[in-house]
Chains A and B, each alone.
Chain A
Amino acid sequence: MKDKMQEKEQNQEKNQRIEEIIRTYGDEILRLLYLYVKDLDTAKDLFQDTFVKVHMGLKDFRSESNIKTWITRIAINTAKDYLKSAWNRKVSTLSEYDTESEIDIRDENTRVEETVVNKDIRKNVRDAVLELKEEYKEVITCVYFLEMSVETTANQLSIPPGTVKSRLSRARSALKEILERRGLQ
């Protein structure tokens, strides 16, 4: 009986801890996943998978390394596994425009002109990032969105820092090209 009670208490503590972690790092992880998979619903599914993995590995996690870096790495690997899977290759994303409609409803009360302009630019930038090749997109996500250094990005993606720099340069050029094309339209 005592063992069961202790086990229950331990589980409750673990659940509380994971809830705290989700509230602290959840937003950033969800956005990161969205940047990878371009679909909010899929990103939410992967979000759950990511934090299940975090919960599983929490007892083995060494607190000497940064927990945010560790969770980000798990999220990136989860997203990459999803993109590699055969299921993802067959399913086409349909909810891209649904997200736009949600945004429209939320911003209903803001000034119409500002909203339209800002939305258009942000949409263009986000779409341009999502349009990038996988290897460029992950470098942009880490450096621009997660604001990681080149070394941290190299460590996170398990590639040399020189490769990160070269990929960043090519990604920048590609982004410029895409945005110029969109600005001209």
Chain B
Amino acid sequence: MSEFDKLDNIHSMSDEEFDMFIKSELKSSLMEDIKVDEELICKTVQAIESREREDKLIFDTMDSTKEHTKVINFKRYIPIISMVACACFVVIAGSLVYTKIGRKTSDYAYMSSDGNSEGTKNDSFSVVEPGYNEPQEWMPESDMKDEITNSTQNNIQDSEDSNDIHIDGNWWDAEVDGMPEKEESSEQDGNEPENNESLMETPENEHKEEDNLPKKNILKIIFEIISSIFPLKDI
């Protein structure tokens, strides 16, 4: 049977014959016409190599992206770290401000009379307050009391002496005896108790004033804050 006859008698072929016919014709047709040439092989190999390079690039990029992701993960903690740092700063600043404004007299360093900072409470100490350019020398309380007592007794004695002179009415005798004039003595009589009072007041009262000073400052600041928030006009 010729090829043309085969094609004409397809309807009379059995399934097996038909299968054989199609197989042979299809295969031979494709095998003759379609073949892989060297050019296609070279192109395919080049395509594979270029794909490999692309994959390598993508892989490297992914690696760098992973590193970047690590940085981003670290960055996520930056707000927390900054908040903690801010909180620490506020605490430190607050404590510094508190110690500056609210420190008490007892916080001052005691200084011995010779200027040594390692003095005790019984030694004289210098206080440097804002507004005071020079330190004031103070004495311990016991010494101060003794001095006050002595000076008071002396004054009393002096006044008694002056009274004697006055009673006698002989001022010249007094001058001759080297006694001070009445005016001077009267001045002394008048001033010395005041000085005594100032001496009496100085150590303890100063302590009290120094104690009260920071409290006043704090109250003043609080008042200013409150007044800034709630102006008096509004109230």
Contact = CB atoms under 8 A, between A and B. Distances in A.
Is B truly associated with A? yes
Interface of A: 11, 15, 18-19, 22-23, 26-27, 30-31, 34-35, 40, 43-44, 47-48, 51-52, 55-56, 99, 102-103, 106-107, 117-118, 121-126, 129, 140, 144-145, 147, 172, 175-176, 179-180, 182-183
Interface in B18-38: 18-19, 21-23, 25-36
A137 to B, nearest CB: 11
Contacts of B221: none
B77 interface: no
B48 interface: yes
A123 B43 CA distance: 29
Contacts of B121: none
B181 interface: no
Most-contacted residue by chain A among B6, B35, B36 (CB, 10 A): B36
Nearest to B4: A117
Given A23-B41, A147-B23, A172-B18, A124 B30 contact: no
A144 B23 contact: yes
A19 B43 CA distance: 11
Contact of A117 (B3, B22, B44): B3
B10 A183 contact: yes
Given A23-B41, A140-B22, A102 B48 contact: no
Given A55-B52, A176-B13, A182-B7, 10 more contacts: A15-B49, A18-B44, A26-B41, A48-B44, A117-B2, A125-B22, A172-B18, A179-B7, A180-B11, A183-B8
A30 B36 CA distance: 7
B41 A145 contact: no
Interface of B: 2-4, 6-8, 10-11, 13, 15, 18-19, 21-23, 25-36, 40-41, 43-45, 47-49, 51-52
A31 B28 CA distance: 11
A26 B30 CA distance: 13
Contacts of B33: 99, 102-103
27 contacts: A19-B41, A23-B36, A26-B41, A27-B35, A30-B34, A31-B31, A31-B34, A40-B34, A47-B36, A47-B44, A48-B40, A52-B48, A55-B48, A55-B52, A118-B3, A121-B6, A125-B29, A129-B22, A144-B22, A144-B27, A145-B26, A145-B30, A172-B18, A179-B10, A180-B10, A180-B11, A182-B7
Name A's interface SS.
helix
B44 A122 contact: no
Which one of B6, B13, B25, B51 has the highest number of Cβ atoms from chain A below 10 Å of its Cβ? B25
Closest 4 CB pairs of A and B: A122-B29, A26-B36, A125-B25, A31-B30
A56 B30 contact: no
A143 B228 CA distance: 96
A89 B43 CA distance: 26
B29 A48 contact: no
A118 B148 CA distance: 146
Contacts of A147: 23
B36 A126 contact: no
Contact of B32 (A40, A103, A121, A180): A103
A126 B26 CA distance: 6
